[in-house]
Structure 1
Amino acid sequence: MSPVPESEVTAVQTGQDLTRMPRGRRRRMLAPLALAQFICSFAGSNMTVMIQDISEDLDTTVQGVQTAITVFLLVMAALMIPGGILSDRYGRKRCLVTGLAVYGLGALLSALAPGLGLLILGNSILEGIGTALLIPPVYILTTLLFTEVADRARAFGTIMAMGGIGAAAGPLLGGLITSAVGWRAAFVFQALVVALIIVLSRDLADPLPPDPGRDLDTGGAALSAVGLVLVVMGILATDDNGWLAAALLVAGALVLAGFFRWVRRRERRGEQPLLPLELFRDRTSNLGLITQHTQWLILMGLSFVVATYLQVVRGYDAIETGVIFTASTAGLLATSLGAERFARRRAQRTLVMAGFTVTVGGIGVLIGLAAGSPDAWVLTPGLLLIGLGVGVMLTPSVNVVQSAFPEDLQGEISGLSRCVSNLGSSVGTAVAGTVIVADPAVGPYAAALVVLAVFGLGGLGAAALLPRTPAPTRHG
């Protein structure tokens, strides 16, 4: 294919005529976006199999390494919404590349860390900041570059498939790298992938110009960050201290309530808030956000429960555990990559409902088969069903939310969407851990799965309330 003329790229970048860009070029630009989601999801899950190795090498405790993971979640959740605003202010491509560079630096520092302090600086702070900067542009650019429903579904399907593969295969890849070379090599691997993404991003076109005059609501950003940090800390504290967890959750709710009052006050004054209240007035988008939150809650909660059960109860090592998880990875990959075909044949509501139904059914299969056999391989049918179900619904849920708003709100809704999904991951891990951590035997293991199934039924109820036919994309 011949190169795209410079005039055509300029037209695209200024938002004059996106349709003039050849479809093949847009598909090539999807590669760095999908890889960016992959590496962030990989980083969020592969640390679980390296905790023991890291704690021994850095002469710290398992709790110390868990602190690094917790701080990463806090930083990422707190900064995701401002990251979406900065994408609009300075440009989607610039924020993507900057976030990748910060992330890569954090990965290299983590690989060289002589102690826990530098590991927290690299993995928790810098990688958390980098993720918050690079993830919103991934979803904004995808929404802007792929305007047709089927094309957008395929693009989001590819991105969500790579994200799911990163999350599901993180323990396997992390275990393989750690066993073959060492835990530091896993961070070097992340840095190398980030370098590749930066190279692939050179030809990435930003469909809209930056808006340097875009106001960053620092007061709103501070309130939202503090509120989300308190909420996540409360969720993560449920394992240790119920009263402290309740206090943190109440404090977080009060701060977030103050954030909404702050937003309302700025809008009445004619000032630009961090998140306009109209983002929360769209019923379809709100339901889509609930389904997104629930999907990641189930996916990450299930990963924690099954990994804990296999390693603590059955005595499997990291590699053996990761191999069993390939069943869910295969299922998720198969259905995510079929997102375009599904979108052409079925309404988004139907796909999300079907995904939750299959996922809850897969959890039921896990409980039934695991209770009746000592062989850990009986988990694979249930994991396969769960992967198929999650893969079916990830893409339409994202599409429902992103497509509900015009181009000028893509920064805000992208940040909000990713924040809600990350909170789902934190809640899933915390809720599942609260049930199973006291005595990870078959009883608590099954109980944790039942709790996740109940959340799945709640997600199914939210999906049933989505419009029967997708609402048309609104244009500003």
Structure 2
Amino acid sequence: MRISSTAGRGTLLAAVVASGMVFLDATVVNVALPHLGAELHASTAGLQWTLNGYLLTLAAFVLLGGALGDRLGRRKVFLAGVLAFTAASILCGAAQNIEWLIAARFLQGLGGALLTPGSLALLQSSFHPDERGRVIGAWSGLAGVSTALGPFLGGWLIDALSWRAIFFLNVPLAVIVIVAALRWTPESRSEGATGARFDVAGALLGALGLAGVTYALIEAQQLGPGSGQVVGAAVLGVVAAVAFVLLERRRRERAMLPPTLFGTRLFGVLNVYTVLVYAALTGLTFFFSVYLQNVVGYSALETGLATLPMTILLLVGSARSGALASKIGPRPQLTVGPLIAATGLFLLHGVSRGDSYWTAILPGITLFGLGMTLVVAPLTASVLAAAPDRLAGAASGFNNAASRVGGLLAVSALPLVVGLSGGGYERSGQLTPAYRQAVLLSAGLMVLGALIAAVLVRRPGRAPKKSRPCPSLPPPPTHQHEPDQDPDRSRAEQHRS
């Protein structure tokens, strides 16, 4: 398809709105944390699980979602994910206690794992190769906008209605996605994948590995790092993760994560980079929203408005960023972007109650948004370009998993590292030093990502130009009665000639 066609625009609409729901719910909840914590009487661990329950199933099963799409049909699995995500969103909005909400967030992440890789794989497999960079750039920018728009939209809904409205918002969005996908999006699947067995064992081992490590990091704040439950969960998580890697290597092309994806070093490097950058992004959003409301004194809407410059930059600049990377290669932007974002984080580190927004917050959030704008589109396009087209779903799924794992580890580990637990997020004396340390650690992750890009990311070598006849010369003549011109042809063929 072409982006100028009606079907092309309809397919892009379905992919962007669907993935936007997933990214929106990964960030919009941050603004609601103080409100749902007060209403549902949640501790810091409860707030962490509200975020991580979603990120955990999303990261653990997004690979399976990509593989299912490659085998069963990308549009079919994509729509199944949209329906599951919407049903879980309704359950989240109706939650009566923190345990109910956490359980619904687990289910919501599972629906997101089915639709997220499908949204990008549909674009990769449906559009003409000449327009994939432009389309992916538009997808990255608009999806990034939905991520950044979450705090603003969530703040408005929370102040005007309730924190429950942020989940019910997904219902009308899902209707748009389903109508657009059924009307305009073509079905596609990986050649030769029909009938292949699903790697259920790999999916379960991956989920168990993430769950064990996540549980150990969160509960270590309450039970202590040396408790039997924490140590047991950590050991179980590590063993399951090692078993997952060994299983995938043994199953090769039948694996949920085919080792073929790592045939080039670039694919692995870019996904490590993804973990670092998205860990820094999630670390900031988790602490920043709570800090602005509980320490600086902002309302939920004011907290969302504070991040609006980042939204505008992603909206305006992501497509241009993707186009620039296609001309000069991804390394310059993947190196400079995190450094600019880290500079913004250093500026946000010192925000205090009574500071002016224009001098204390705006410069930092603008630089952070500019840095992410330089990174998002080139990173997504480079990951997909490093993988074969027939594994577009698996590649997209793994990269999405990498970004969620980064966020999962940030939300799990940062409160432990900075000493925030229990109801500490409600007390300025505990939250302020924890916030400042978390922001500096996030800046350090950005700098580390920039170093990796500078050293290990290389622009692919240009393929040699194909020789072609000089346009000034006429084409070689064709002769109908020269059977001896081709000695390899059979006698019968020569006779017919």
Change in 2 beyond 3 A, CA 1:454/1:252: same
TM-score by structure 1 length?
0.85
Aligned residues: 449
Match 1:198 to one of 159, 163, 178 = 178
For 1:72 and 1:307, the matched residues in 2 are separated by 18
Matches within 5 A, 1:162-181: 162-181=142-161
CA–CA distance in 2 between the matches of 1:446 and 1:425?
Answer: 18
> What one-letter code is carried by the residue in structure 1 that aligns with 2:185?
L
1:328-347 → structure 2 map (5 Å cutoff):
328-347=310-329
Residue equivalent to 1:125:
106
1:301, CA displacement in angstroms? 0.9
Q: Which residue of 2 aligns with 1:433?
A: 415
The Cα of 1:147 is off from its aligned counterpart by: 4.8
1:262 partner letter: L
The one-character-per-residue Cα deviations of 1:260-279 (angstroms, maximum 9, x if unpaired) are 22233334xxx722222232
Q: Cα distance, 1:316 vs. partner? A: 1.6
Paired position in structure 1 for 2:488: none
- Residues 141-160 of structure 1 aligned to structure 2 (within 5 Å): 141-148=122-129, 151-160=131-140
Instruction: Confirm whether residue 320 of structure 1 aligns to residue 302 of structure 2.
Output: yes
> For residues 383 and 61 of structure 1, what CA distance do their matches in structure 2 show?
28
- Matched letter for residue 451 of structure 1: L
- The 5 Å alignment of 1:86-97 reads 86-97=68-79
**Aligned residue for 2:449?**
459
Distance 1:381 1:450 in 2: 16
2:313 and 2:373 in contact (8 A); partners too: yes
| Alignment pair present for 1:243 and 2:226 | yes
Q: Does 1:448 align with 2:438?
A: yes
> Secondary structure at 1:183's aligned position in 2?
coil
User: How many Å apart are 1:52 and its aligned residue?
Assistant: 4.5
Say if 2:40 is the partner of 1:41.
Answer: no
Counterpart CA distance in 2 for 1:25 and 1:161 is: 20
In structure 2, relative to structure 1, the CA distance for the partners of 1:147 and 1:357 (3 Å cut) is: farther
Segment drifting more, 313-322 vs 110-119: 110-119
- Where 1:337 maps in the other structure, the secondary structure is helix
Matches within 5 A, 1:220-369: 220-237=202-219, 239-240=221-222, 241-243=224-226, 248-267=233-252, 272-367=254-349
The alignment partner of 2:254 has SS state of coil
Structure 1 Cα separation of the partners of residues 220 and 461 of structure 2: 39
Q: Which residue of 2 aligns with 1:183?
A: 163
Name 2:356's counterpart in structure 1.
375
Conservation of the 8 A alpha-carbon contact between 1:305 and 1:436: no
Distance 1:295-1:126 versus aligned 2 partners, 3 A rule: same
Where 2:294 maps in the other structure, the secondary structure is helix
Q: Indicate how the Cα distance of structure 1 residues 164 and 143 shifts in structure 2: closer, same or farther if over 3 A, else same.
A: same
From the superposition, tell whether residues 238 and 163 of structure 1 become closer, same or farther in structure 2 (CA, over 3 Å). Answer: farther
Secondary structure in 2 matching 1:405? coil
Unaligned runs of 5+ in 1: 1-17
Amino acid at match of 2:288: V
Structure 1 residue 443: deviation in Å?
4.3
Distance 1:124 1:467, change over 3 A: closer
**Secondary structure of the equivalent of 1:206?**
coil
Cα deviation for residue 383 of structure 1 reads 0.7
Which residue of structure 1 lines up, in the alignment, with residue 459 of structure 2? 469
What are the Cα deviations for residues 49-105 of structure 1, in whole angstroms up to 9, with x where unaligned?
334444555576675465343322222222111111111121100011110011111
| TM-score (norm. length: structure 2) | 0.82
Q: What RMSD over aligned residues (CA atoms) do the two structures have, in Å?
A: 2.8
**Equivalent residue, structure 2, for 1:161:** 141
Q: Contact between 1:104 and 1:194, CA under 8 Å: does it hold in 2?
A: yes
Question: Quick one: distance in 2 between partners of 1:395 and 1:440?
Answer: 37
Please give the per-residue CA displacement for 1:142-172, whole angstroms capped at 9, x wherever unaligned: 22234546x3333222222233222222222
Q: Write the deviation string for residues 317-360 of structure 1: whole angstroms up to 9, x where unpaired.
A: 21111111112222222321323432344211112112112112
Aligned match of 1:11: none
Q: Alpha carbons of 1:441 and 1:456: their partners in 2 closer, same or farther (altered >3 Å)?
A: same
Structure 2 residue runs of 5 or longer lacking an equivalent are 464-497
